[in-house]
Structure 1
Amino acid sequence: MTRLVFFCGHAGTGKTSLAKRLFAPLVRATGEPFCLLDKDTLYGGYSAAAMGALTQDPNDRDSPLFLQHLRDPEYRGLIDTARENLELGVSVLVVGPLSREVRERKLFDRGWLGVGPQVALTVLWVHTSEETARARIVARSHPIDAYKLAHWDEYRQRRFMPSGEQLDGLLLFDNTTPTEADYDALLQRLVLAGAPA
């Protein structure tokens, strides 16, 4: 059995930090090999080169051009890389906003993911308030956030909190000011997600 765990959520919610924090404890608790696939690490350099050539702005990750032409291929590559690791017996933590995929429930579609029932699937939505997320984005001062900050009113329209049917099977984690007990409880839920019924 292998595990596929998605850490999803909007910018500034702390998805990557949370995945890295839980990585070693998850390996220890399960005794299984894992890898971490972060969308920005995998595709950041490529997207910078592509957007630099197309728009002379290598840090653009939010303009209509990027969203229409590069976003989906990045995510498809992320999913395909995760699947290759799973086929080799390596469990995967996948980090990326994946907001559209959560909204459309694609991350629960094993056919779309290309994974069978032997893969324990967990989708985690990491969230915090808009104010906290924006403050974190400002504080980290990363160039890829410049477009987002300059067009915040436009960007904030894409922010959402899953509701209704979108919540079915989705784990939620409020990453505003989590305690050690919160981290421990989340770790337990991730471990149990792969346990035999």
Structure 2
Amino acid sequence: MVCKLTPSAPRLILFAGHAGTGKSTLAKKALPLIVERTSEDFFFLDKDTVYGAFSAHMMELTTQNPNDRDSPFYLENLRDWEYNGLIDIARENLLLGVNVILVGPFSKEIQSGRMFDPVALGIPPQTSISVAWIDLEESVAKSRMEQRGDPRDEWKLAHWDQYAKRRTEPPTHPLVHRFNNLSFNESAFEKLIDDLLQ
């Protein structure tokens, strides 16, 4: 795919939040609206698409469980490398003037403030950064994960109390725009898009 270069400051938009909140679905729904409103192209990066098969293979080699995607072993030995690689791909595009939409939990990176700092990310200092944090009440997220039957959720569901401790709140920050995905609201979604692009 050939991407048009963005004439002004490139945009980095994150759709972030915990598992089962609907990040990927909402990001894909938002993409055509964002393109329409900006008349700009975007490079779309979803963590599960980029690293899903690779991480499953690595975990099968090391723990004999390809779906072991949230255990302490995974978090210590693979998690940060996935996120750093994803940010590296985003950086390469932003340095070329290509807008990027990133999809993934990014809770650790957002909590630390790294995702708000172009210098820390190594991206152009004029980059416009905005974060859509997708909220969903814990019990509803768990129910949706049970219903979707994704093998990658097996560890979370089997160790829910341990996993739930990592469901932290994002920091209050002007670049973070929260969206409650309990019951999709079209007008609230339109406002989210406006906030992300302001």
Mapped partners of 2:18, 2:105: distance in 1: 5
SS of residue matched to 2:141: helix
SS of residue matched to 2:130: strand
| Percentage of identical aligned residues | 47
Equivalent residues of 2:132, 2:192 under 8 A apart:
no
SS of residue matched to 1:73: helix
CA drift at 1:116: 2.4
| Structure 2 residue 190 is the aligned partner of structure 1 residue 190 | no
1:108-140 residue CA offsets vs partner (Å, 9 max, x unmatched): 122221112321111221111001101111111
Trace 1:1-197 onto structure 2 (pairs within 5 A): 1-162=9-170, 166-169=171-174, 170-192=176-198
CA drift at 1:60: 0.9
How many residue pairs match? The answer is 189
Greater Cα shift, 166-175 or 148-157: 166-175
Q: Which runs of 5+ in 1 are unaligned?
A: 193-197
Mapped partners of 2:98, 2:119: distance in 1: 19
Mapped partners of 1:85, 1:12: distance in 2: 28
Mapped partners of 2:138, 2:77: distance in 1: 27
SS of residue matched to 2:154: helix
Mapped partners of 2:196, 2:164: distance in 1: 30
Structure 1 ranges of 4+ moved more than 6 A: none
Mapped partners of 1:58, 1:187: distance in 2: 36
Greater Cα shift, 109-118 or 67-76: 109-118
Which residue does the alignment assign to 1:195?
none
TM-score (norm 1): 0.93
SS of residue matched to 1:37: strand
CA drift at 1:29: 0.6
SS of residue matched to 1:70: helix
CA drift at 1:12: 0.6
Q: CA RMSD in A?
A: 1.0
Mapped partners of 2:124, 2:177: distance in 1: 20
